[in-house]
Amino acid sequence: PSMDWRPVQGVPCLRPMSAGIGSSAPATLMRISGIVDGNFSLVAGCKLNQITGINVFTHVCLVVFIFTYSLLISQVTSEAEVQAAVFLAREKFGKLDLAVNCAGIAVAVKTYNFKKDLPHSLEDFQRVINVNIAGTFNVIRLAVGEMGKNEPDADGHRGCIINTASVAAFDGQVGQAAYSASKGGIVGMTLPIARDLAPMGIRVITIAPGLFSTPLLAGLPEKVRSFLARQVPFPSRLGHPAEFAHLVTSLAENPMINGEVIRLDGAIRMQP
């Protein structure tokens, strides 16, 4: 039987992002769709913040892209700013088809530092949970309200949400209690939200990336980068952001994938 693929060409899309793995998504979506770059004016911004001494690539860019448009926001946890972005998408393009959640922050702290007799900062833990889980959910809950207004296709499909978790949700390492908990939360809410939205024909999928060549890893010494690359069974290298974007495109186009978490990691299983 013929398959009812949904090409991403011209798809109105919200993309909360960090400066890392999600940065290639728009270009890849455009390239795979056969869209000429000259038809677009796309701004993908990022910002490096200092939060209690921890370097964090934050979620300052929400991109709505089709033809010539881009929108910056400062917080995915802000209802007003995300809602404003959704309204602008509707005003500019008439609908919203795809939301890709790439924003996230992390801290690397053990549960208790026995040498310094110091517990993990509760404030830092709560911040990671708030941005990574609540921020993701905030974008989902507001974006799907607009998607629900779309006319369904013959299959009843109205839209798609793609979230970003991490292999840390399954293979959390030392010092990753907050980050692993936050990514585990995204994994855990994927299926129930997919079930919530199934009657409206809105799919929900999560990607769990492994080690990717993001600006964070690019700043590490080459010796460390090579060591990390060798931990990946095959291909034995860091993933390219374009490979993440390629999966986003495939998931958006394949209507049967729903309520699933997909590891994109070269078969790595992180060591403690």
Sign of CA pseudo-dihedral 37, 38, 40, 43: positive
Interior angle at CA 224, CA 242 and CA 105, nearest 5 = 55
The confidence score (pLDDT) of residue 242 equals: 86
Per-residue model confidence as pLDDT tens digits over 248-262:
888 988 999 999 999
Q: How far apart are the first and last CA of the chain?
A: 47
DSSP track, 58-115: ---EEEE-SSS--EE-S-TT-HHHHHHHHHHHHHHHS---EEE----------SEETT
Beta bridge partners of 132: none
Per-residue model confidence as pLDDT tens digits over 4-26:
445 444 444 555 544 455 544 55
Per-residue model confidence as pLDDT tens digits over 109-135:
999 999 999 999 999 999 999 989 998
Q: Residues near 53 by Cβ (< 8 Å), separated by ≥ 6?
A: none
Token representation of residue 188:
């855990």
Per-residue model confidence as pLDDT tens digits over 218-252:
777 888 888 888 999 999 998 888 888 889 888 98
Per-residue model confidence as pLDDT tens digits over 156-211:
999 999 999 999 999 998 999 999 999 999 999 999 999 999 999 999 999 999 98
Catalytic residue check, 112: no
Contact indicator for 147, 193 with CB cutoff of 8 Å: no
Q: Give me the catalytic one of 93, 179, 212, 244.
A: 179
Average pLDDT for 129-143: 91
Domain 13-264 architecture: 3-Layer(aba) Sandwich (3.40)
